[in-house]
Structure 1
């Protein structure tokens, strides 16, 4: 058994209880939320918000959810939720009493969700089996996806992440791997993606205006700009005012990147060679960091 698996627990009794509650057949693999994440306040906030959202949505149907794991696994609540939010008419019984019927019901429901949300099988973070076995991670991913599609203005807390453990029952014993998984969107990644999308649009719509960006490739104008904005006195002996080689350009650019990093202005990793090679997106992102800081000062 992988020693990392044992580190999740403090006592053998906890390990035995966990294995008893999460039986994993030979050749099966499961990803679960670590017990150490159970007291995560942002996770608890998300769970309470989703419960309140479901209960508000289904208030007229007198459905009350108290636990996401215990109340959604059989498909009844999901059935009512999808009919209410998306006017989906699902060809399944409202109540499924046997496990076989519940599995069939969930199969129809999840197929309808994937079709409505236009998700490929590889994009799904849940399955019939995981929902049926009351897996909280899968249930949360499913509900967040439904809420984002049908009620995008629902104020879900951003950056909700949990520690996970993936357990695989192999012929040689249990194999495990730890990780961190986001349940709601990583706001910082979204902002970076948004900037990249804006730059892509700029490149496609106004390529003639970007020739000036190439003038920053040797680092000279960038250094002078940083010095002017940050109030640095840059000694001409510290950089090459008229660089005559790639090495001299790299020296200038590396100096500029050091100044930006020291000033807390650079919020992404940069390869200096990309700048010297005239990579416009990299140069534009650096200029945007400067612009963002000094635009904020003006306002």
Structure 2
């Protein structure tokens, strides 16, 4: 369905392809918004910096990302992921199929679904700037939460909603980023409070988890003494998951003797994926923090295993 809407002195033609679907559109005046342009240039520079070793250069978010090629390379780079998709896709059908695989992986990594998603295969492939911006911002905030995205970027958009008698248009404010403090500050949990309010109890928690871990690993003749360092390569973490969950993780899927940071990241990402898929870890953890021996993140992940095992013992 095609709709003609007035916006000041200009006119916009909207295509509503799905019956009952509400859509948002940028107004032509958005091209003159300095904050929006700053955000676009920041994201372009970020992508080009991430992919410079692959000699990929992005000039336009709408024109260069719609077919999935650059999104594929970007997700592999920032997420250290391998996606089984074609490198080059020329037909619309294959491009949308590739985008579907990519966006499904994004949803899995970000733990988003349904109404939480502000993008879709159809929107990205149709070069929808709003959807493309939301997707890139979500990826940046998840994989690089310290990235200094331009703060307080919002813009007025046209909202088109279907009614029983036709279409209704209105205006709304679309927010892309909040203040730096809002974007950078994650919600605090029990471990944040422990480290801030009760640092004297950290050793007690560490010892309780060490005892739990060693009890689980006794059949493998392994002993853990230092949580900070012995879980940094992901090997013991993967073996521990297998023991607690009661399944074997094929040795071919991880590096038993990791020789590089990339190998260690691969192991830890695999472990975190298993914990997320098993419903043990309820909030995503940063694999790089574990590789870098961040005690709080390591404790948080191990505690999720400890908590499940403890609850299982109580119920048995």
Judge same fold: TM > 0.5, yes or no.
yes
The one of 149, 152, 168 aligned to 1:159: 152
Aligned residues: 190
The one of 27, 31, 40 aligned to 1:34: 27
Contact 1:159–1:184, Cα closer than 8 Å, also in 2 = yes
Q: 2:15 maps to what in 1?
A: 23
Contact 1:114–1:120, Cα closer than 8 Å, also in 2 = yes
Q: Secondary structure at the match of 2:167?
A: strand
Task: Give the whole-Å Cα distance in 1 for the aligned partners of 2:183 and 2:79.
Answer: 27
> Could you tell me how far 1:172 is from its partner in structure 2?
2.7
The aligned runs of 1:120-269 (5 Å cut-off) are 120-170=113-163, 172-186=165-179
Question: For residues 104-145 of structure 1, what are the alpha-carbon distances to aligned partners after superposition, in whole Å with 9 as ceiling and x for unaligned?
Answer: 111110110111112232211111111111110110000001
Gaps of at least 5 residues in structure 2 are 198-316
Q: RCO (CA 8 Å, sep 6+): is it higher in 1 or 2?
A: 1
Question: For residues 193-248 of structure 1, what are the alpha-carbon distances to aligned partners after superposition, in whole Å with 9 as ceiling and x for unaligned?
Answer: 98x99xxx7xxx8xxxxxxxxxxxxxxxxxxxxxxxxxxxxxxxxxxxxxxxxxxx
Q: Secondary structure at the match of 1:144?
A: helix
> Could you tell me how far 1:5 is from its partner in structure 2?
4.6
Pairwise CA RMSD:
2.8
Contact 2:151–2:178, Cα closer than 8 Å, also in 1 = yes
Greater Rg by CA: 1
Change (3 A) 1:175 1:163: same
Q: 1:9 maps to what in 2?
A: 8
Instruction: Give the ranges of 4+ consecutive aligned residues of structure 1 lying more than 6 Å apart after TM superposition.
Output: 188-194
Within the alignment, does 1:93 sit opposite 2:98 as a pair?
no
Task: Give the whole-Å Cα distance in 1 for the aligned partners of 2:113 and 2:179.
Answer: 22
Q: 2:46 maps to what in 1?
A: 53
> Could you tell me how far 1:188 is from its partner in structure 2?
7.7
Gaps of at least 5 residues in structure 1 are 206-299
Q: Secondary structure at the match of 1:154?
A: coil
Contact 2:148–2:180, Cα closer than 8 Å, also in 1 = no
Q: Secondary structure at the match of 1:88?
A: coil
Question: For residues 84-118 of structure 1, what are the alpha-carbon distances to aligned partners after superposition, in whole Å with 9 as ceiling and x for unaligned?
Answer: 11111111101111111111111110110111112
Task: Give the whole-Å Cα distance in 2 for the aligned partners of 1:193 and 1:65.
Answer: 30
TM-score, length basis structure 2: 0.54
The one of 50, 58, 68 aligned to 1:75: 68
